[in-house]
C-alpha cells in the first residue's frame, strides 16, 4: 500500500496560521469524495483509512474474476431487501471509507441515491498482494465498525477466511479484532450470517 500523490489540497483558510512542527494532513470522507469528483484519482484505485489516502494496485485477472464470481454468487442469495455493491463507497466514519470489493447492504438501490450506506451485513475482500493488510489492519477496521461478517477470498492459498464476533483487542491497529476466524478450503462451504439458509461453496469464489 502507498499513499496517493495529491496534486493540490482542497482546504482553504481565511487567515494565516502557524504550525510549530510538521503534522500529518488527514482527510475527511467529504474531502476524499471531493478530490474524486475533481478527477484527482482518475485511473487510480484508492481508499481512505483513518484519514490517510491509500492507493491500491489495479486488479489482475484472477482478482477481477474472483470479485465477479463473488458478486454473482451473492446476488443469487441476497435478492429482495438487499443490495450488492461492488467497489462502491462504504463510509464507516468521518475519516474512513475502505471501498470494499463487495458489500451486502440492506434496502434497495434507490435507498442510497443521496447517501452511501454506512454499514453492511457482509463485507468481502478479494486478496492476493494485499492479503496481509486485509487480514490484519482491514480486519481490525471492520471489527471496530461492528461489521459482523467479514470474508476474505484468499487467492494465494485458495481458501475463504470467514471472520466473525468483533471484540476489543488493544493489540490491533484499530483496537478491535474478530474473535472467530475460520479458514475454509476448496470443497468446503460457508453460510452468510444474514442468510443462514444459503450455502456458498468456496470453489465457486475461486478463478
pLDDT in tens, 12-37: 434 455 557 777 789 999 999 999 99
Dump pLDDT digits (tens) for 38-71.
999 998 899 999 999 999 988 999 999 999 999 9
* Residue 58 CB neighbour total at 10 angstroms: 10
Q: Residue 24: what pLDDT?
A: 76
135 and 101, same domain (yes or no): yes
Q: Residue 43: what pLDDT?
A: 83
Strand 2-3 with 52-56, pairing: antiparallel
69 and 170, same domain (yes or no): yes
- Residue-number span of the structural domain to which 47 is assigned: 2-56
- Is the pLDDT at 119 greater than 60? The verdict is yes
Q: Which residues of 76-169 form beta strands (DSSP E)?
A: 82-86, 102-106, 122-127, 149-154, 159-168
44 and 130, same domain (yes or no): no
146 and 189, same domain (yes or no): yes
- Of 15, 40, 56, the domain-final residue: 56
Q: Residue 3: what pLDDT?
A: 43
44 and 66, same domain (yes or no): no
189 and 127, same domain (yes or no): yes
Indicate the average pLDDT of the chain.
Answer: 91
- Is the pLDDT at 186 greater than 50? The verdict is yes
Sheet holding 45-49, edge to edge: 2-3, 52-56, 45-49
Q: Residue 35: what pLDDT?
A: 94
Q: What percent of the chain has pLDDT over 90?
A: 85
Give me the residues paired with residue 100 across strands. none
Strand 45-49 with 102-106, pairing: unpaired
27 and 65, same domain (yes or no): no
Provide the CATH number for the domain around residue 82: 3.90.1570.10
163 and 74, same domain (yes or no): yes
Per-residue pLDDT band for 82 (boundaries 50, 70, 90) equals very high
Into how many domains does the chain fold?
2
Separation in Å, CA 30 to CA 37, 82, 127: 10, 25, 27
Q: Residue 8: what pLDDT?
A: 46
78 and 44, same domain (yes or no): no
Per-residue cell: 60: 489482475
125 and 49, same domain (yes or no): no
Residue 70 CB contacts under 8 Å (≥ 6 apart), including other chains: 101, 102, 124, 126, 153, 205
88 and 170, same domain (yes or no): yes
Per-residue pLDDT band for 1 (boundaries 50, 70, 90) equals very low
How far apart CA 103 and CA 125 sit, in angstroms, is 9
Kindly state the helix (H) or strand (E) to which residue 30 belongs, with its residue range: helix 29-37
97 and 181, same domain (yes or no): yes
How far apart CA 139 and CA 164 sit, in angstroms, is 10
Amino acid at each position: 500500500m502507498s499513499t496517493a500523490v495529491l496534486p493540490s489540497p482542497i482546504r482553504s483558510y481565511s487567515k494565516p496560521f502557524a504550525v510549530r512542527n510538521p503534522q500529518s494532513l488527514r482527510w475527511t470522507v467529504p474531502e476524499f469524495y471531493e478530490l474524486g469528483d475533481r478527477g484527482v484519482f482518475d485511473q487510480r484505485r484508492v481508499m481512505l483509512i483513518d484519514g490517510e489516502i491509500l492507493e491500491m494496485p489495479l486488479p489482475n485477472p484472477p482478482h477481477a474474476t474472483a470479485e465477479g464470481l463473488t458478486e454473482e454468487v451473492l446476488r443469487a442469495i441476497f435478492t429482495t431487501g438487499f443490495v450488492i455493491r461492488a467497489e462502491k463507497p462504504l463510509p464507516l466514519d468521518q475519516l474512513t471509507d475502505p471501498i470494499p470489493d463487495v458489500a451486502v447492504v440492506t434496502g434497495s438501490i434507490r435507498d442510497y441515491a443521496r447517501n452511501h450506506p454506512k454499514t453492511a451485513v457482509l463485507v468481502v475482500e478479494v486478496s492476493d498482494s494485499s492479503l496481509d493488510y486485509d487480514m490484519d489492519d482491514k480486519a481490525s477496521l471492520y471489527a471496530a465498525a461492528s461489521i459482523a461478517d467479514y470474508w476474505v477470498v484468499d487467492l494465494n492459498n485458495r481458501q475463504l477466511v470467514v471472520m466473525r464476533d468483533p471484540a476489543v483487542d488493544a493489540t490491533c491497529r484499530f483496537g478491535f479484532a474478530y474473535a472467530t476466524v475460520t479458514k475454509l478450503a476448496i470443497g468446503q462451504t460457508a453460510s452468510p450470517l444474514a442468510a443462514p439458509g444459503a450455502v456458498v461453496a468456496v470453489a465457486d469464489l475461486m478463478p
